[in-house]
Amino acid sequence: MKKKVPGFTIVILMLFTLVQCAKKGMPEGGPIDEEPPKFIRANPENYTTNFDAEEIRIFFDEYIKLDKPQQQIIVSPPMDPKPNIMPLGTARKDVKIEIFDTLEENTTYTINFGKSIVDNNEGNPFDYFKYVFSTGDYIDSLQISGTVKDASLKAPKEPVTVMLYEVDTSYTDSIVFKETPRYVTYSQDSTFTFSLENLKEGTYRMVGIMDKNSNYLYNPKSEKIGFIPQNITIPTDSTYELTVFKEELEFDPKRPAYFKGNQILFGYEGSPDLDSLSIDLINQKPEGYKSRVIKDPKTDTLYYWYNIKPESDSLSFEVTSPKTRDTLLARLSTLDRDSLKVSTEGGGMNEDFKFKANTPIIDYSEDLVKILDQDSMEVPFSTSFNPLRNEILVKFDKTPANRYQITAFPGAITDLFEETNDTIQQNVRTKALSDYGTIILNFQNIESFPVIVQLTDTKGEVLAEQYSENSRNFSFQFLKPGNYLVRVIFDTNENRKWDTGSYLKKIQPEQIKYFSDTLEVRANWDINEAIILD
């Protein structure tokens, strides 16, 4: 006898079957949302005149959030105190702006959001939306534009804050250190262009800084600056190029600290002329007292070495540079000093061989140094001593596919404590000619001399350079395979190095131009390039 299945059981079975079928045919997610949020309305309306509200609401068609609002959102002219802009942390369908500043009369304000407004799910940005209002009865509509460059790099590594200061009876160049600008914008990441809009007619000065503190004030210790030296009268059809550079600061020595045996560490800020700098002990010096100053190769630090400890627990020093004179105090301790250790470095086809020591070198003898090639033939050489780097440079002509044995015999190097080296022997090998590449450059648009032509890696580190007073042709041989950039420094003051600028002295940095392409050096390959500089 068949049993009758209850009705509710049949219903459950049918529902279970439908669910299973639905799971099998259910699509795995829908299309990815690539649409940015859409602006619906604002209260007060965008481009409102005779503005007197304390709050602005900007509405969108979906939930949004603000991405990096501190870096992206620019209020121009700046408000003090800054407005409170939400959302922060949570998503909502509107942007709320609370104004606490007493706004200036008859002034057009712009709130540029950059790429900060993004949808909550996919982060699609609503690019460069701006809210504009005026406390007067019209909106200022003038504008100005231009480009930004970095004086020492192929392109700026971060956006440049471009600012306009109104030139009136109270204007001075020092305004960049203490007051916010009238108008402000950022350069675009990829195009390195900028535009300032909704400006009023007038006379201005233009300055650009890499504003690390986001406070629209220039800090020369940490930030780069660029400027247009002449006044800008708006309206204008001109475009402007700002070149930012890091200024050399005035030398400022810090209180010295005892480092370890017979060494005192002097930290400093700025860019001293180390050839003209002196550190002199004021205390009474014991008989036979000698000292040396060595520069740390990586940090802004000088090491003052002395051979005999004075009879005092603290030492006073006079630190003198061409523009400063300071008296500084250092306390001593009883740590042991290092013993002489000599190391070697370099020796490739395009680099000098070096002897370096951990204690100050005060004397060396070329007669106790010998270089032999792989055929045991003696190789002529010359030496020079760099006291600040505490290294002896050994120069000699090398040939590819060769081996050189450099020997410093006992007594070749003497340090501050009259210790000398034991025998030092170092082998240096050069690769076969087929392992190197060559770059031959012919510049088409160099119009002024002298110039310094440099090959750098992609990070800007100089790998080779040549100086020329009249030639447009350069050959760089024995290069390791890799990618190289070409740049040319126009050495205006003929001192064979690049010089930065000065904002207050109104000195622009020496011009650097780049070749736009990257040159790939391959082994056993010559690159012959006609160069047109950017």
Confidence at residue 26, expressed as pLDDT on a 0 to 100 scale: 44
Residue with tokens 């799910």: 121
Q: What is the pLDDT of residues 94-103, one digit of tens each?
A: 999 999 999 9
Rounded Cα–Cα distance for residues 314 and 210 (Å): 42
Of 22-36, 106-120, 138-152, 434-448, the least confident: 22-36
Q: What are the Cα distances from residue 357, in Å, to 245, 370, 427?
A: 35, 19, 18
Instruction: Look at residue 18 and tell me whether its pLDDT is greater than 50.
Output: no
Buried b (16+ CB within 10 A) or exposed e, 30-61: eeeeeebbebeebebebebeebeeeebebbbe
Q: What is the pLDDT of residues 201-226, one digit of tens each?
A: 999 999 999 998 878 899 999 999 99
Rounded Cα–Cα distance for residues 133 and 83 (Å): 14
pTM of the model: 0.79
SS (H, E, C) 152-198: CCCCCCCCCEEEEEECCCCCCCCHHHHCCCCEEEECCCCCCEEEEEE
Tell me the one-letter amino acid at 204: Y
Burial grade of 225 (CB within 10 A; 0-12, 13-18, 19 or more): buried
Q: What is the pLDDT of residues 309-353, one digit of tens each?
A: 888 888 899 999 888 888 888 887 777 888 999 999 998 898 999
Rounded Cα–Cα distance for residues 167 and 42 (Å): 34
**DSSP-based three-state secondary structure for 379:** coil
Residue with tokens 């007619």: 201
Nearby residues of 383 by Cβ (< 8 Å), 6 or more positions away: 364, 366, 369, 392, 393, 394, 395
DSSP string, 411-448: TSEEETTS-B---EEEEEE---GGG-EEEEEEES---S
For residue 80, name the pLDDT band (cuts at 50, 70, 90): confident
Contact 406, 398 (CB under 8 A): no
Residue with tokens 């049949």: 10
For the chain, list the domains and their CATH numbers: 39-134 (2.60.40.1220), 142-244 (2.60.40.1120), 252-331 (2.60.40), 342-430 (2.60.40.3710), 435-531 (2.60.40.10)
Instruction: Look at residue 7 and tell me whether its pLDDT is greater than 70.
Output: no
Total residue count of the chain as it appears in this document: 534
Nearby residues of 420 by Cβ (< 8 Å), 6 or more positions away: 340, 410, 411, 412, 413, 414
Confidence at residue 333, expressed as pLDDT on a 0 to 100 scale: 72
DSSP string, 396-410: ----SS-EEEEEE-T
Nearby residues of 294 by Cβ (< 8 Å), 6 or more positions away: 302, 303, 305, 360, 387, 388, 389, 390
Contact 271, 246 (CB under 8 A): no
Q: What is the mean pLDDT of residues 475-480?
A: 95
| Percent share of the chain, pLDDT over 70 | 94
Burial grade of 381 (CB within 10 A; 0-12, 13-18, 19 or more): middle
Confidence at residue 260, expressed as pLDDT on a 0 to 100 scale: 77
